């Protein structure tokens, strides 16, 4: 129980850091744009400690969940006290810069975290099949344990880090896979290449994935020391883009299900996300860093959704000022943020309420995590 409590506390700290970095992006962009930042808060109120420095209140709050930035003139409730330092009175480029700065910071953080993991683990070379899962595409095609996958659909698979992307590119198709296999010839072992015909499904199964094999690299490659920062950053960026595309596909499915009045499977609320981070933390620092990158990217993309009060909605309101005019739009925007916040909080509450019985019935942190990923 004590260990679980520490893991949950660690998860809250990690999630708060990811949110704080997002808010720091807004904070920094506002400062650079000449907008008065009234308060930068760590955690959510009630306030425990606060100190004013160069016009900005820096506060530590009781609820250890992320943080916030309060900008002067951000909400059109009354005339700003200092019009020249008010967010609402800045030009469109400055407001777009401020609105997107949080997303940009999360994107940079994701690339940094993935690159850091590569720095410690190195890059994989070659793909070895450790297990062929029953009922999978690989089993039907004739893959066996210890096969070395040389190519899929004519694309070389020697780069282990890009292997998943290659498999993704072949989903829904019937293609060929070239494997290198150890066989016995006249009582001696020899390597032979075999060409297998494989049909990949259009969607991955949660249990067996697309290809249906458990795989690992044949060897670990570490570039020369002076090349590592550049090479690992490139790999971190490529992984970010690949996962970002996968997440966008997931969001499309999510919104489609919600539009039909259905609650999508596999949606985790605040309790579920905290539990997942705590579960990953049990496996060590590197898995935690990698999963933190995944959450940071998720946070960036979610904030691009054009739904008030997310950052994407600010972008939409700023751009539509060209057609509706600033004064009319500001009144609509203020009400939209209020209504949108109520809807978002209600959605999170519904998801969280649904998670509480699962948490109780699971009886443990690991049991709850298993119920989330099934």
Residue 251 located in a structural domain: no
Q: Do 62 and 113 belong to one domain?
A: yes
Give me the CATH number covering residue 141.
Answer: 2.30.42.10
Same domain, 34 and 107: yes
Does residue 20 sit in the same domain as residue 98? yes
Q: Is residue 151 part of a domain?
A: yes
**116/30 same-domain check:** yes
107 with 149, same domain?
Answer: no
| Same domain membership, residue 280 and residue 185 | no
Q: How far apart are CA 65 and CA 63, in angstroms?
A: 6
The phi, psi pair for 139, rounded to 5°, reads -65, -45
Using the 3D structure, point to which of 205, 221, 237 is the last residue of a domain.
221
pLDDT on residue 256: 77
Residues 60 and 14 in one domain: yes
Considering the domain architecture, whether residues 189 and 274 belong to the same structural domain is answered as no
Helix axes 2-32 and 285-303, enclosed angle (nearest 10) = 50
Nearest CA to 328 out of 312, 337, 317, 339 is that of 317
Give residue 102's domain range: 2-120+269-373
Whether 363 and 291 map to the same domain: the answer is yes
**Cis peptide bond N-terminal to 274, omega within 30:** no
Report the C-alpha gap between 309 and 338 in whole angstroms.
Answer: 8
Euclidean distance between CA atoms 138 and 258, whole angstroms: 34
Same structural domain for residues 6 and 96? yes
CA distance 274 to 363: 16
In this structure, are 109 and 9 located in the same domain? Answer: yes
DSSP assignment letter at 159: B
Domain presence at residue 309: yes
Taking CA 178 as the corner, what is the angle to CA 174 and CA 179, rounded to the nearest 5 degrees? 125
Q: How many domains does the chain have?
A: 2
Residue 51 is assigned to a structural domain of this protein: yes
CA distance 118 to 116: 5
Among 18, 220, 6, smallest CA distance to 106 is for 18
Q: Does residue 94 lie within any of the structural domains?
A: yes
Cβ atoms of 69 and 38 closer than 8 Å: no
CB within 8 A of 360, min separation 6: which ones? Answer: none
Asked, for residue 84, whether it belongs to a domain, the answer is yes
Give dist(CA 125, CA 159) in Å, integer.
5
Instruction: In whole angstroms, give the CA distance from residue 298 to residue 273.
Output: 11
For residue 261, whether the previous peptide bond is cis, meaning omega lies within 30 degrees of 0, is: no
* DSSP track, 193-262: EEEEEEE--SS-BTTTBTT-EEEEEEEEE---GGGHHHHHHHHHHHHHHHHHHHHHHHHHHHHHHHHTT-
- Euclidean distance between CA atoms 152 and 275, whole angstroms: 37
Flag whether 211 is in a domain: yes
Cβ atoms of 104 and 315 within 8 Å: the answer is: no
Under a CB-based contact definition with an 8 Å cutoff, are residues 60 and 48 in contact?
yes
pLDDT of 372 reads 56
- Provide the whole-model pTM: 0.89
Are 97 and 146 members of one domain? no
Cα–Cα distance for residue pair 217/161, rounded to 1 Å = 9
| DSSP strand pairing (174-185 vs 155-156) | unpaired
Find all residues with CB under 8 Å of 113, minimum gap 6, and list them. Answer: 236, 289, 290, 292, 293, 296
Residue 128: what pLDDT?
97
pLDDT tens per residue across all 374 residues of the chain: 667 778 888 888 899 899 999 999 999 999 999 999 999 998 888 899 999 998 999 999 887 777 889 999 886 666 788 889 999 889 899 999 999 999 999 999 999 999 999 999 999 999 999 999 999 999 999 999 999 999 999 999 999 999 999 999 999 999 999 999 988 777 787 789 999 999 999 888 878 889 999 999 999 999 999 999 999 999 999 999 999 999 998 888 777 776 776 666 666 777 788 888 888 998 999 999 999 999 999 999 999 998 888 999 989 888 887 776 666 667 777 778 888 878 887 877 877 777 777 766 766 656 656 655 55
Residue 92's contacts (CB-CB under 8 Å, 6 or more residues apart) are 318, 319, 321
In a domain, 241, yes or no: no
Cα dihedral value 186, 188, 192, 197, nearest 10: 70
């Amino acid at each position: 129980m004590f260990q679980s409590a520490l893991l949950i506390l660690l998860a809250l700290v990690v999630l708060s850091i990811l949110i704080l970095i997002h808010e720091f992006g807004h904070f920094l962009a506002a400062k650079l744009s000449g907008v008065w930042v009234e308060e930068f808060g760590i955690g959510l109120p009630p306030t425990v400690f606060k100190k004013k420095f160069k016009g900005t209140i820096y506060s530590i709050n009781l609820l250890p969940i992320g943080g916030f930035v309060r900008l002067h003139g951000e909400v059109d409730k009354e005339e700003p006290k200092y019009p020249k330092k008010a967010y609402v009175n800045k030009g469109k480029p400055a407001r777009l810069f401020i609105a997107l700065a949080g997303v940009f910071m999360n994107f940079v953080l994701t690339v940094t975290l993935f690159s850091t993991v590569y720095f410690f683990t190195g890059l994989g070379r070659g793909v070895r099949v450790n297990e062929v899962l029953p009922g999978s595409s690989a089993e039907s095609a004739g893959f066996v344990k210890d096969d070395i996958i040389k190519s899929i659909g004519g694309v070389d698979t020697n780069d282990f880090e890009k292997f998943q992307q290659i498999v993704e590119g072949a989903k829904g198709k019937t293609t060929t896979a070239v494997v290198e296999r150890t066989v016995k010839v006249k009582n001696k072992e020899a390597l032979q290449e075999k060409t297998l015909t494989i049909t990949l499904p259009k969607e991955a199964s949660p249990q067996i994935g697309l290809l249906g094999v458990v795989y690992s690299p044949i060897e670990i490659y570490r570039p020369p020391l002076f090349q590592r920062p550049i090479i690992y950053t490139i790999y971190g960026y490529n992984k970010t883009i690949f996962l970002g595309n996968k997440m966008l596909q997931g969001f499309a499915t999510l919104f489609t299900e919600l539009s039909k009045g259905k609650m999508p499977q596999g949606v985790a609320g605040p309790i579920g996300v905290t539990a997942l981070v705590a579960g990953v933390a049990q496996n060590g620092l590197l898995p935690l860093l990698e999963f933190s990158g995944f959450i940071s990217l998720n946070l960036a993309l979610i904030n691009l959704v054009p739904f008030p009060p997310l950052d994407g909605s600010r972008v939409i309101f700023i751009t539509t000022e060209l057609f509706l005019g600033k004064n009319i739009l500001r009144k609509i925007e203020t009400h939209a943020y209020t209504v949108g916040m109520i809807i978002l909080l209600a959605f999170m509450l519904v998801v969280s309420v649904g998670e509480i019985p699962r948490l109780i019935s699971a009886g443990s942190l690991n049991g709850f995590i298993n119920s989330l990923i099934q």
